[in-house]
Each structure stands twice: as C-alpha cells, then as structure tokens.
Amino acid sequence: EATLDALTVSDLTVRYGAVTALDSVSLRVPRGAVTAVLGANGAGKTTLLRTISALHPPVSGHIRMGEVDLVGASPESMSRRGLSHVPEGRGVIVELTVEENLRLGALGRNTSAAAVGIDRVLTMFPALAERRASTAHTLSGGERQMLVIGRALMATPTILLLDEPSLGLAPRVVAQIFQTLRDSVDADGLTVVLVEQNARSALSIAEHAVVLSLGTVAREGPAADLVGDEELRHAYLGF
Ligand code: ATP
C-alpha cells in the first residue's frame, strides 16, 4: 500500500528550542487524494507543513516520497520534486496584477508553459479571470487566496500543501475554493495536504484525515470515519 502514498512521515520529531512541536509523528498522505490535517491552535499543523517543505529541520524521523527521504533536502529542491507550499497569510504582491503574480509562480519555466498554466488557473478560478489585469491590492480575501493557490499551481506540483486557506473567509467562498481543489484532485490526480481549523469543511472534501493534538497524532483514518465519530468530533474538531 505504501506505493499509493505520495508521502510517508515516520517518527518525526521537531523542536523549537525547549518546545517540542511534533513528538514522534507518523502519518501517510495518500496519492491523488485530499488529506485533512486538523487540530487546535498549537497542535503542530504548521510545523508539519514547514518540516515537509524542508523549511525547518526535524530532530529525528523521516519524510519519504517514494524511495527518497526529504529530510536534509533543500527547500529550493522541493519545487523540482513536485511539491508546492501555500503558507498561511495570502502573500500576494499587491503592486502587481493578478497575471503578473501568476507569472511569478512560473519563474524558470518557458513562456508557452507559463501561458498554458495561466489559462488553466484562470479557468479554475473564474473570479480571477475577471480580475486578470487588476492589481492584487484590489482583490478580496477570497480572491487573494485563489491567487496564491493559483500561483502555487503554476509550478504544476504533484503535491500541494495548504496552510489554513479558509481563515477569515465567508463560508460561501471557502466552499468555492475547496470545490476547486477537489476538482483538481479528481481531474489531475493532484495530492493535497490541507491544514485546517475548519474541520467540518475540510473533512467534506477529504478522503483521509489526521488529527494532531499537542504535537502527537490523536487519530488518523478515512475522513468519513472521523465525521462519524461523535466523541472525536466533540473532543478535537469542534463540531
Ligand atoms: P496554529 O493554528 O496556531 O498555526 P499549529 O497547529 O499550526 O497552530 P504550530 O504553529 O505548528 O501549531 O505550533 C506548534 C507548537 O510549536 C506550539 O506550541 C507553538 O507555540 C510552537 N512554535 C511554533 N513556532 C515556533 C517558533 N518559531 N518558536 C518557538 N515555538 C514555536
């Protein structure tokens, strides 16, 4: 079954000084599916994504992509390995237009590949197509979130890591963005790791889910099993 996994994390421990953010965490990320990573503030969700992206070194453990261990790889090599990371906070360049922001995601690719990528992203997010020539400072929060996801997709990743894309957005906008992600998984076989506080929405598009609690895995399994577990929902997921 391991070959069906895009990523396999084993015994991963990460510390910030004396603070243990992840304590021997093991989990799988199935290929061509959405994996929701859930848990309260401080559970270690952001740390998990940053460690997968090689932005923070673990104390111990492994992050395997097939036969390759990503631990020790450089953050710069991640895009070449097919990994894109959308951090929390919607860091668009507000002085640039929507199209120019997207082009930044295609640096190092040739012009025709960039053009195909831009068309693809604008088809995925029609709201952005209408704003193609507008500067990003005129965009709503939802449109900025679409733009950072679109920019990450310009690198044609096989694995997309998303940190709290729903934060501060209206439910209708969240539903729209999540549906677009779902479509991309179904149509292109994209693998998505979706870190969310909004457990209910995340689970509604996920096949697989992991609940982190104080740096450890409280539960891992099919998303439907977590939704069906009332005790777990009340204890960890807030719905
Ligand atoms: P949030 O939703 O608030 O981002 P999270 O689940 O993503 O929470 P992390 O941000 O990964 O959790 O934090 C995990 C633990 O590590 C917390 O106890 C946090 O205080 C600590 N931590 C995170 N970053 C640092 C840092 N740069 N220095 C020290 N401690 C940190």
Nearest atom (ligand 1) to Cα of 43: 6
pLDDT given at position 110: 85
Cα distances from 152 to residues 5, 122, 169, 192, 220, in angstroms, run 21, 13, 19, 12, 27
Q: Cα of 231 to ligand 1 centre, how many Å?
A: 25
Q: Cα of 224 to ligand 1 centre, how many Å?
A: 28
Contact 98, 128 (CB under 8 A): yes
pTM, whole model, 2 decimals? 0.95
How far is residue 115's CA from residue 39's CA, in Å, rounded to a whole number? Answer: 38
pLDDT per position as a tens digit, 193-211: 999 999 999 999 999 999 9
Cα distances from 102 to residues 43, 82, 117, 203, in angstroms, run 32, 17, 9, 28
ipTM for the whole complex? 0.95
Write the residue with the smallest CA distance to atom 1 of ligand 1.
41
**Residues, the chain:** 239
**Position of tokens 């409280």?**
218
Q: Cα of 42 to ligand 1 centre, how many Å?
A: 5
Q: Cα of 25 to ligand 1 centre, how many Å?
A: 15
Q: Cα of 38 to ligand 1 centre, how many Å?
A: 14
pLDDT given at position 91: 87
Write the residue with the smallest CA distance to atom 2 of ligand 1.
41
pLDDT per position as a tens digit, 156-177: 999 999 999 999 999 999 999 9
Write the residue with the smallest CA distance to atom 10 of ligand 1.
46
pLDDT given at position 3: 62
* 10-residue stretch averages of pLDDT, the chain, 239 residues long: 83 97 98 97 96 97 94 92 92 95 88 91 96 96 96 95 96 96 94 96 97 98 97 93
The pocket around ligand 1, CB under 6 angstroms, is made up of: 16, 19, 21, 39, 41-47
How far is residue 31's CA from residue 75's CA, in Å, rounded to a whole number? Answer: 21
Q: Cα of 21 to ligand 1 centre, how many Å?
A: 6
